Structure 1
Amino acid sequence: MAQAPWAAVLIARLGSGWRRPSPLTPQPSRPENLAKVSIIVPTLNEAQRLQPCLAGLMRQGYEVREILIVDSHSQDGTVEIVQAAQHGDPRLRVEFDPPLPPGWVGRPWALHTGFCRAHPDSEWILGIDADTQPQPGLVASLLETAQREQLDLISLSPCFILKRGGEWWLQPALLLTLIYRFGAAPPVARQPERLLANGQCLLVRRSCLEAIGGYQVAASSFCDDVTLVRAIAATGARVAFRDGSRVLKVRMYEGMAETWREWGRSLDLKDATPVAQVWGDAYFLWAVQGLPLPLFVLGLVALAVTTPTLPLEMATLLNGLLVLIRWGMTLAIAPVYDWQTGQGRWLFWLSPLADPLAALRITLSSWQRPKQWRGRTYSSQT
């Protein structure tokens, strides 16, 4: 009785997946798009992973007017890497953000600084994270899709690069917490409060940002991408979230422990979500993702050692159905991973065993705001 309504909600959410748009594909540059895009890359001690991002951005076509690396005074050689790359592409420029104001989180502050300093003639602002690896034709593909579908904002899900067995086991379970809660993204978002976005690659019309005062609406958010996009969608803008696995790769975290610690602190999306919805989603995850496999196994054992009853049979059947859906989702998300790299890739197929941990991580994250994020420490008032 506790699970059945949520199982019905899950089936309804996933049922629209067959109507989702095809993944974006690389597109050639078009003369009419000359210098329409300013790219902003926020950085803080990113020397270990910035070079693939810069190389990918430098391969983009002439729709890119400038590439602003907004650095928060890195101490690891990040700036020197950018300065060396400038000799190969004059579009690259380093900007330093001012000291972090009270009430701001570092990433939206860097993005806001870049937005304020971007060339005023650029019609679009593209936020890119330093851990991404843009593929050739990414920006042209984003622009072509936005123009063809008359979108004001589009963000992409990437192709994930995993290198260790623990990542292959845990990361898919964490990723699926998003799909379970929000379902397949529609062609154009209709409900801002249920909208999902990815700030690793987010293209937005400059006029839309100007209308809401830049990134200020997401100043104190640790899920600033979702906060920003929901605020823009609420103004009536046309917003979309698409599969970008053919034009964007990302290496997010190093190892299972960092994946659990860093990604898990923002997956609850509580900064962009009412409290009741946050805890409703946590309960939903336990009901349809975290508990079905253990309950299904317990149900089979109980049926084998006790006299079967109708409630026991129905509960076991329901959890068996949810386990079957989970294995189907495992197959569905397999194409968004880079299968050419990494060790322990076979553990991906055992990721359903990590579902209780994924539900636990969302629950723990829902209790408190992060105090540390990407090398910075924040007060509880941030």
Structure 2
Amino acid sequence: MTHSVLPDAIALGLLTVQIPAVAILLSRLLRGPWRQPPLQPQSATPEMAGQVSAVVPTLNEVERLTPCLQGLAQQTAELREVTIVDSRSTDGTQALVKAAQQDHPRLQLMEDDPLPEGWVGRPWALHSGWLASDPQARWILGIDADTQPQPGLIPSLLQTAAAQDFDLITLSPQFILQYPGEIWLQPALLMTLVYRFGAAGDLTNAPERVMANGQCFFCKQSVLKAINGYTIAASSFCDDVTLARAIAKTGAKVGFLDGAKVIKVRMYEGLQETWREWGRSLDLKDASERAPIMTDLWVLTMTQGFPIGLLIWSHILLRQGDGQLPVVILGSLNLLLAIIRFALNFAILPSYDLSAATGKWLFWLSPLADPLAVARIWLSANRTPTEWRGRTYTSASKINLPDPT
């Protein structure tokens, strides 16, 4: 039987585009052992008193806000005030806050002004809350309504900032998962960020590659004043990353750190909402130029999206005797990538709270969702959002990072 050269030719072509992508991925993952360790809960010291003002943007968050308010109430004297900026919720969010104010006098409720043209709702609410905050606070803490601050969060942030001279710290939280679909898909979506930017605590990224998470955005008041608050991220659907990269380009020290021990988050309910809501912003196109986005998509496709399929394809060819050395190399390379991916599940396990989860075992099969996760990033990268958190937008202009000079 004559051996077909086509499979080997295809394998050679795939290796040509896959090997450089693997080299880039390994260069990112190998920085992991030297990353900053996870933040630990700390106790406040007297000099921390009143240093922090928190801002919580809300829009129809009555089902998720209570754990956030309770977590902020557990913070001690270092937290000067909490400003809840509500965008005219219709679900009882304001009534919930007013009830909580009876027991927690640090809570303040305000409505932001109608959304100006060119602004997305979240950065506008944060900007409004920042303007209304006490100027005596040295730090502004942006907190999303779906987060659950743990005791010792703010002292931990203050100690870390002082010890390492950070101007901005954002945290990767511990994600609370409950339902089978999200347990399977969400870790695959999270892994796209690890493959692109390295692990939380990696401080080696250039300013234009800085990662951030607006669920816990801890910034010096003076830094926000210098760039006029959130205006640089006005029309960004990933305002956290847009703002963090703009701040990093000014020369400020920015850190995206592991906060799994000090903050939790319950982001989305189930598979469908996870796919629709989180997948829509993961491409970070509002914070990046087109070329790096396409480079990231190439790396993701070659190292996260294709490996299991290519491993199966090469195995079938070799069993049929229809492949030579190129197919063997391709199969071996993708076996290595599959092993790395399954091993990384152990590395990200502390980033998940599965205590109330149904179908916990699906977490270990999340690598099988990788092709879907990568496809979701491709879809998002080529679409402009028109709806976000209950608001409809006619357009959203691309934000360009400022020139630090």
TM-score w.r.t. structure 2 length? 0.93
Q: Distance between the aligned counterparts of 1:90 and 1:186, measured in 2?
A: 35
Which of structures 1 and 2 has the bigger CA Rg?
Answer: 2
Q: How big is the shift at 1:341?
A: 1.2
RMSD over aligned CA atoms reads 0.9
Q: How big is the shift at 1:277?
A: 1.1
The Cα offsets for residues 118-172 of structure 1, whole Å up to 9 and x where unpaired, read as: 0010000000000001000101111110011111000100000011000010000
1:174 to 189, 195, 203: 189
Alignment of 1:8-87 (within 5 A): 8-87=23-102
> 1:143 aligns to what?
158
1:242 and 2:254 equivalent?
Answer: no
**1:189/1:239 contact within 8 Å kept:** no
> 1:204 aligns to what?
219
Count of residue pairs brought into register by the alignment: 382
Q: How big is the shift at 1:232?
A: 0.4
Q: Distance between the aligned counterparts of 1:261 and 1:91, measured in 2?
A: 35
Unaligned runs of 5+ in 2: 1-15, 398-405
Q: Distance between the aligned counterparts of 1:190 and 1:305, measured in 2?
A: 45
Instruction: Tell me the amino acid that sits aligned with residue 339 of structure 1.
Output: L
Q: Distance between the aligned counterparts of 1:305 and 1:115, measured in 2?
A: 65
Structure-2 change in CA distance of 1:49 and 1:240 (3 Å): same
Alignment of 1:223-262 (within 5 A): 223-262=238-277
Instruction: Tell me the amino acid that sits aligned with residue 276 of structure 1.
Output: A
Instruction: Tell me the amino acid that sits aligned with residue 24 of structure 1.
Output: L
**1:186/1:240 contact within 8 Å kept:** yes
Q: How big is the shift at 1:235?
A: 0.4
Q: How big is the shift at 1:188?
A: 3.7
**1:188/1:238 contact within 8 Å kept:** no
**1:189/1:240 contact within 8 Å kept:** no
Q: Distance between the aligned counterparts of 1:177 and 1:296, measured in 2?
A: 20
1:334 and 2:349 equivalent?
Answer: yes
Q: Tell me, what secondary structure is at the counterpart of 2:237?
A: coil
1:269 to 284, 298, 301: 284
Q: Distance between the aligned counterparts of 2:299 and 2:203, measured in 1?
A: 25
Q: How big is the shift at 1:271?
A: 0.2
2:366 to 348, 351, 365: 351
- 153-162 vs 299-308, which moves further: 299-308
Q: Distance between the aligned counterparts of 1:341 and 1:317, measured in 2?
A: 38
- 153-162 vs 298-307, which moves further: 298-307
1:103 to 95, 106, 118: 118
Q: Distance between the aligned counterparts of 1:275 and 1:159, measured in 2?
A: 31
The Cα offsets for residues 287-326 of structure 1, whole Å up to 9 and x where unpaired, read as: 0000000110111111001244111111111111111110
Q: Distance between the aligned counterparts of 1:332 and 1:187, measured in 2?
A: 14
Q: Distance between the aligned counterparts of 1:198 and 1:186, measured in 2?
A: 12
Q: Distance between the aligned counterparts of 2:34 and 2:188, measured in 1?
A: 23
The Cα offsets for residues 45-91 of structure 1, whole Å up to 9 and x where unpaired, read as: 00000000000000001000000000001010001111101111111
1:91 and 2:106 equivalent?
Answer: yes
> 1:368 aligns to what?
383
> 2:6 aligns to what?
none
TM-score w.r.t. structure 1 length? 0.99
Task: Among all aligned residue pairs of Structure 1 and Structure 2, give the percentage whose two residues are the same amino acid.
Answer: 57
Unaligned runs of 5+ in 1: none
Instruction: Tell me the amino acid that sits aligned with residue 64 of structure 1.
Output: L
Q: How big is the shift at 1:283?
A: 1.5
**2:35/2:203 contact within 8 Å kept:** no
**1:155/1:241 contact within 8 Å kept:** yes
Q: Tell me, what secondary structure is at the counterpart of 1:88?
A: coil
Q: Tell me, what secondary structure is at the counterpart of 1:2?
A: helix
The Cα offsets for residues 326-358 of structure 1, whole Å up to 9 and x where unpaired, read as: 011111101111121110111001101100000
Which stretches of structure 1, 4 residues or longer, exceed 2 Å deviation after superposition? 184-190
1:3 and 2:14 equivalent?
Answer: no
**1:168/1:345 contact within 8 Å kept:** yes
1:378 and 2:393 equivalent?
Answer: yes
Instruction: Tell me the amino acid that sits aligned with residue 285 of structure 1.
Output: L
